[in-house]
Amino acid sequence: MSATDVAEARERPAPPPDADHAADQGPAGLLRPYRRGLAAVAVLQIVGAVAGLAPLLAVVELGRTLLSPGPADHDHVRGVVIAGAAALFVRLLFTAASSGIGHVLDDRVQLSLRRRLAARLGRVPIGWLSRRRTGELAKVVGRDVGAVHPLIAHAPGELVSAFVVPLVSLVYLFTVDWRLTLITMIPVALAVALVPLMMTPGRLREQEALDGAMGRISNAAVEFVQGIAVVKAFGGGERAHREFLTATDEFAGTFSRWVFGISGIAAGMALALSPPFVLLVVLTGGTTLITAGSLTPADLLPFLLLGLGLTAPVAALGHGFDDLQAARRAMGRIRDVLAVPSLPEPAHPVVPRGHRVELRDVRFGYEAGHEVLRGIDLVLEPGTVTAIVGPSGSGKSTLVQLLPRFFDPTHGSVLLGGVDLRELGGRELHRTVSFVFQDVRLLRASVADNIALAVPHADLDDVVRAARLANVHDRILELPRGYESVIGEDVKLSGGEAQRISIARALLAAAPVLVLDEATAFADPRTEQAVRGALATAAGDRTVLVIAHRLETIADADTVVVLEDGAIVERGGPAELLARNGRFAAFWRAHPSAHPPAHPSAHPSAHPSAHPSTHPSTHPSAIADEAETPAIAPRGDEPR
């Protein structure tokens, strides 16, 4: 299959995502595997709810017996009391079983959802993750999964009670007196009439706005904690919490509007279903019928008792309405994450022939109608270093993220060894293309495990050798447990130290195509010089693409590509571009302390092994782990 065929195939409509079929699953779909357990909870609750009416009916029967003329039948009274007590025990047993099974089922559902979310987030494109805020995803995995609890553990029982208990009660009361039964239903009818007012589009929008404001508080809290040290260091401590307070103020305003809009309706429902109001309605109607001679006083008793039982389940359901709505919305957000498709895998993966990289007419946009890259044509030969430069927003990061396939181009193709990246299997791609982030994240694991992340079976001698080359061995020996010290528990590393650990990891691994983002950005000059020398030794004939922020990197590059507004405006060797006096020359002049690059033919970096600053490597298996691990807190006594 040619690259053109692949590109055309990719531009055709994609098949439905493979994300656990979550795209066509609502909340009911996510809970479908647990339908038997939910049905068992409902059946147990039905038995318990019906049995719970028996004690009330026993009281009614005892009342009638006591109010009837003549001596009471003691055997009948004894039988009624025993039946009521037995029914009460049955209610206790079945209700406890329903609640216990419901909570165990809730635990399993939450565990399953968190595992599925973790598995899905581990397979989605890294580019998708990079465009999501940490607080947003943390809310889905944490709070939204926890919000499912009422839907599993309480809703089945409350729904059953809300329908079964009133239904059985009404059937019984209709056999006593249908007129007073209709009067007893007035409070329930008033409460039900208010429910649509809680479901208006305006109320739903207010609730969605409240959820959004709560999510923004989570994001602001994360950013506040992560950024307060930097802001305070520049004398802006009074401003460090401004964004967080803005988010809390926004939430307070949204919450006030939501409460103001719903409080009147909620108060009306609570009043309609309150015991005093129910008793007032029943006594008024019953007294009227007794006065007219249409009802005996003994027949009023079941309405006084069951009238309260008629409204209590509906009141409980009303109190849980907000929780049920919140659970439904949370399930929707969980479904959306589970529906995020992973990058499609080819049915028959192709093995690349070499590691020559070629971008053919590549176009890409994060949103429809807005292209970030426009017609990129670029060839990266093995054994060469290509530096990407350009102003902020020119598309540099987007371009380099196409090589490790963080995203797929919306048009055109990226080829590796003559094969479109979309035709490579995931493992082959990860073995061949690796990405080193400037913002290093380390795992909460031992130093040795962090260095050997790409080569888990490496022995300690190899780990130590890599650490020496990265100029971090002596620092590791100073740690409480040396190479067994756990990062984040035994020690907190500075940015420069964390970057040297990452470089040691890179030296221990190997990948023929490297995509770099200033791998020595936080290193001091002495360390950088040692690391550059070590990387030069291990460089080999790798294909290197680097976002260049340091002029030393640009001077050592074989080719410099200048991006502007998503398009290549200049390319060539650094000395050649400087002679043209174009955009690259202007960029170079903006850094007067830089040494001018030598002519390519005389430059000592003409051989690939002479590019010490541009050949760090890391194994691709470390990419996702670095992106998912907690931030490393800087040491106050280390230079940054």
In terms of pLDDT, which residue wins out, 628 or 293? 293
Strands in 319-356 per DSSP E: none
Sign of CA pseudo-dihedral 80, 82, 87, 88? positive
**Is residue 478 within 8 Å of 491, Cβ to Cβ?**
no
- For every residue of 385-420, DSSP letters joined together read EEEEE--TTSSHHHHHTTTTTSS--SEEEEEETTEE
Express each pLDDT in 494-522 by its tens digit.
Answer: 877 887 888 788 778 777 887 877 665 66
In terms of pLDDT, which residue wins out, 158 or 112? 112
Tokens 């009342």 sit on residue: 63
In terms of pLDDT, which residue wins out, 139 or 365? 365
Flag the least confident range among 40-54, 280-294, 347-361, 580-594.
580-594
Confidence label for 479 from pLDDT (cuts 50, 70 and 90) = very high
Give CA separation, 128 vs 83, 137, 395, 525, in Å.
Answer: 63, 11, 16, 35
Check residue 604 and report its DSSP letter: T
Mean pLDDT value of segment 28-56: 83
Highest mean pLDDT among 56-65, 338-347, 361-370: 361-370
The predicted structure's pLDDT at residue 27: 58
Question: How much is the CA Rg of the chain, to the nearest whole Å?
Answer: 35
Sign of CA pseudo-dihedral 616, 622, 623, 625? negative
pLDDT at 296 over 70: yes
In terms of pLDDT, which residue wins out, 496 or 579? 579
Confidence label for 569 from pLDDT (cuts 50, 70 and 90) = very high
Contacts for 422 with CB less than 8 Å, ≥ 6 apart: 6, 10, 343, 344, 346, 405, 408, 413
Confidence label for 598 from pLDDT (cuts 50, 70 and 90) = low
Confidence label for 55 from pLDDT (cuts 50, 70 and 90) = confident
The predicted structure's pLDDT at residue 601: 43
pLDDT at 540 over 90: no
For Cα atoms 198, 320, 115, give the angle at the middle one, nearest 5 degrees: 110
Of 535, 537, 542, the closest CA to residue 518 belongs to 535
3-class DSSP string for 133-158? CHHHHHHHHHHHHHCCHHHHHHHHHH
In terms of pLDDT, which residue wins out, 510 or 390? 390
pLDDT at 635 over 50: no
Structure tokens at 326: 């919140």
Q: Strands of 385-389's sheet, edge to edge?
A: 433-436, 513-517, 543-547, 385-389, 559-564, 567-572
Q: How far is CA 257 from the centre of its chain?
A: 28
Express as a percent the part of the chain with pLDDT over 70: 72
Confidence label for 304 from pLDDT (cuts 50, 70 and 90) = confident
What is the distance between the alpha carbons of residues 571 and 640, in angstroms, rounded to a whole number?
Answer: 33
What is the distance between the alpha carbons of residues 421 and 364, in angstroms, rounded to a whole number?
Answer: 15
Express each pLDDT in 95-137 by its tens digit.
Answer: 889 888 888 888 888 888 888 887 777 667 666 666 666 666 7
Confidence label for 530 from pLDDT (cuts 50, 70 and 90) = low
Structure tokens at 199: 């479901």
Contacts for 84 with CB less than 8 Å, ≥ 6 apart: 54, 55, 57, 58, 59
Confidence label for 362 from pLDDT (cuts 50, 70 and 90) = very high
Confidence label for 191 from pLDDT (cuts 50, 70 and 90) = confident
Which pairing describes strands 411-416 and 357-364: parallel, antiparallel, or unpaired? antiparallel
How many C-beta atoms lie closer than 10 Å to residue 144's C-beta? 23
Confidence label for 152 from pLDDT (cuts 50, 70 and 90) = confident
**Is residue 388 within 8 Å of 563, Cβ to Cβ?**
yes
The predicted structure's pLDDT at residue 4: 41
In terms of pLDDT, which residue wins out, 167 or 201? 167
Flag the least confident range among 70-84, 436-450, 581-595.
581-595
- The residue type found at 328 is R
Question: What is the overall mean pLDDT for the chain?
Answer: 75
Of 493, 489, 512, the closest CA to residue 502 belongs to 493
H or E segment and range at residue 202: helix 201-233
Q: How far is CA 44 from the centre of its chain?
A: 35
